[in-house]
Amino acid sequence: MFTRSSKWNVKSVILVALIGILMGIFYTYGTNDLYNLVKMLLLPTGYAPATDAFFAGLWLMAAPLAMYFVPTKGSGLVGELLASIVEMACGGQWGITTVVSGLMQGLTNEIGFFPKKSRYQKFSWQSVLTGSFFASFGFLIPCYLMYGWYKFALKVQIVMFFVSILSSVLFDGVLVKLITNLFDRALKPKVE
């Protein structure tokens, strides 16, 4: 039987670290290459910057996965931060700014669960979707300030804003919740 421990202990630290490492590798070699291809194909349309927004939710998944397996405050922040560090270390194209973004994304993803311990333990649809909604702002704000999104035409900014939220809710929210539901059925974990 698998136990989801809501206490920071050696097992929890190792589990969050593994999630961060695996997701950082997934971000670098899974999503980034596909992202670059899609962005290149959209260059002639003028909407290539919206590719960033479409992929946003895929880059936010480490936090809720970490919070599912280690349902306690800070696990989402640590999971997403580790994933961003691994992505940067693997040669991610955004360098050190990836870590700044990972910090923001982990913090904002926890909003759906914080401050009640029971929200982390229940891992409900409401908490996951709320966290994913706020995580989209953890993605948008650094992009707007660090990557110059404010320079794009207003119509492109509006598209990017809504697509980022939709992507975050779809991938970081719905997809992660469906994945964790599969874990619930397969492992029948208890929460400590």
Q: What is the pLDDT of residues 16-34, one digit of tens each?
A: 999 999 999 999 999 998 9
Question: Nearest 5 degrees, angle CA 134-CA 156-CA 77?
Answer: 25
pLDDT value of residue 59? 93
What's the chain's average pLDDT? 93
For 97, list phi and psi in degrees, rounded to 5: -65, -20
pLDDT value of residue 1? 64
User: How is the chain split into domains, by residue range?
Assistant: 3-191
pLDDT value of residue 64? 98
Instruction: Name the fold adopted by 3-191.
Output: Arp2/3 complex 21 kDa subunit ARPC3 (1.10.1760)
* Range 69-86 average pLDDT: 96
Q: What is the pLDDT of residues 165-186, one digit of tens each?
A: 999 999 999 999 999 999 999 9
* Range 139-165 average pLDDT: 91
Question: Nearest 5 degrees, angle CA 182-CA 186-CA 192?
Answer: 95
* Range 102-106 average pLDDT: 96
Query: Can you give the pTM of this predicted structure?
Result: 0.94
